[in-house]
Structure 1
Amino acid sequence: MFKTLTTFEFKLHVRNFFTMFFALAFPIMMLLLFGAMYGNEPSSLTGDRGTVDLMLPAYTCMIVAVTGLMSLPLTVANYREQKILKRFMATPIQPMQILVSQVVVNSITTVAGIGLLLVVAKLVYSVQFFGNVLTTLMAFLLVMISMFSLGLVIAGVTPNARAATSLAFILYFPMLFLSGASIPLYIMPKGMIVISKLLPLTYGVRLLSGV
């Protein structure tokens, strides 16, 4: 039953152009843009590492933010507003199964987006991995749990899907551009760096960049 439910939810999920574009295509576009501008040659400005090597962990956080802050809460809030979760209580499917299936679906999209990003980065810029695989996976899991948890909070505290969308946009776009997930913090003005310290995703970027 759960497998069938998750398959159905995934089919609906892949029809969402916003999620698919920003989770699968946009990070690759940013990678190619910054790679074309700065290349991937080691530099003293980037700690003797290539720009693409340095920014790759940040782009993975960008993908997690899309699925965790934009896709997951908006779907759950929409289901709640349309009372879909309550209707399922009259069936063998429980509301919690719907929520878990949404987490699974968005996790699959996250992993797929990161996989595509890594393949392109390796083929085009020959990126190198400097960290420990196990530590990196644990750090990635922490970032994903934190973003997905924040997304579920958005879905829980907003009265309807429109409010959830507004709150998600208010949180997502400042974090996208000011956390270091899309634009390196070291090229930002000091004022922007101060603001970045208030954003949860900033610490996800730092965590993955430091392992």
Structure 2
Amino acid sequence: MFSNVLAFESRRMLRNFPPLFFGLAFPVLVLAIFGGIYGNEPSEFWDGRGTVDMSVPAYVGLVIAVAGLMSFPIGMAEYRSRGFLKRLKATPARPGYFLLAQILVNAVICVLGIGLLIGVGVVAFGLHAPAHPLAFAGIAILGSAAMFGIGMLIASVAGSEQTAIVIANIIYFPMIFLTGATVPLSLMPDAMQNISKAFPLTYAIDALRWAWVGTADSLTLPLSVLGGTVVLTGIFAAWLFRWE
């Protein structure tokens, strides 16, 4: 039964243009623009590192943010607000199957989006291999879990699909513009850099950059924030979420 639910969610995702565009194409377009302008030659701005090498880990944040903060919660809120999950209780297809299928399908989008981003970076701009590939994969998973946790919390408190869209947008756009995911934080005023510290995605990008280019920054704070986000959002989402 779960395989049928997963196949259904996969077909549904293929017909859903926004998460496919923003998860697969948009980060590559951003990379193409800024990579085309600055290339990947060593830059004084990045302490001798290439712009593309420093940017790709940040653009990975775009991929996991759109899946965790937009696609996943809006899909779950839509099912719940229309009474779809409630009616499933009378069928062999349990509501939990759709929750798991939503997570898996959006996780696949994350993997494809990150793979496409890295592939374009390597082929078009000479992106270097990550300094710590296993750590990069683990941090990407942890960062995704934090974004999906926030997404589940959005789905838990939103009473309708429209409300979920509004809440998701309120969280998503500050996340991508004030965390270094699109514009480097070093270009922002001190006040905005301080605001960025309130967003978990900032710490995910810091940790991803550490894993990719081997910066000397400590991982203690980023991993603590991301792990705490996963735990807290999981607790509150489990408490607040209702299938009906």
Match of 2:186 in 1: 186
- Percent of paired sites with the same residue: 43
What is the CA-CA distance between 1:181 and the residue it aligns to? 0.7
Distance 1:100 1:141 in 2: 16
Per the alignment, in what secondary structure is the counterpart of residue 118 of structure 1?
helix
Distance 1:192 1:124 in 2: 32
What is the CA-CA distance between 1:191 and the residue it aligns to? 2.1
Instruction: For 1:123-134, list aligned pairs within 5 A.
Output: 123-134=123-134
Match of 1:8 in 2: 8
TM-score for both structures, normalised by structure 2? 0.84
Q: Which segments of 5 or more consecutive residues in structure 2 lack a partner in the other structure?
A: 212-244
Per the alignment, in what secondary structure is the counterpart of residue 93 of structure 1?
coil
Match of 2:107 in 1: 107
Distance 1:197 1:37 in 2: 28
Per the alignment, in what secondary structure is the counterpart of residue 45 of structure 1?
coil
Match of 1:82 in 2: 82
Q: Which segments of 5 or more consecutive residues in structure 1 lack a partner in the other structure?
A: none
Match of 1:69 in 2: 69
Distance 1:210 1:152 in 2: 28
What is the CA-CA distance between 1:82 and the residue it aligns to? 0.6
Match of 1:116 in 2: 116
Per the alignment, in what secondary structure is the counterpart of residue 21 of structure 1?
helix
Distance 1:79 1:165 in 2: 13
- Paired AA for residue 154 in structure 1: I
What is the CA-CA distance between 1:130 and the residue it aligns to? 3.6
What is the CA-CA distance between 1:160 and the residue it aligns to? 1.1
Distance 1:129 1:196 in 2: 28
Distance 1:166 1:130 in 2: 36
- Paired AA for residue 30 in structure 1: V
Distance 1:192 1:34 in 2: 22
Residues 114-168 of structure 1 show CA distances to partners (whole Å, capped at 9, x for unaligned) of 1111111110001002421211111111001100011000000111111111000
Please tell me whether the aligned partners of residues 130 and 136 of structure 2 are also in contact (alpha carbons under 8 angstroms).
no
Q: Report runs of 4+ in structure 1 exceeding 3 Å deviation.
A: none
Residues 58-96 of structure 1 show CA distances to partners (whole Å, capped at 9, x for unaligned) of 101110000000000000000000111111111111111
Distance 2:143 2:130 in 1: 19
Distance 2:91 2:116 in 1: 38
Match of 2:233 in 1: none
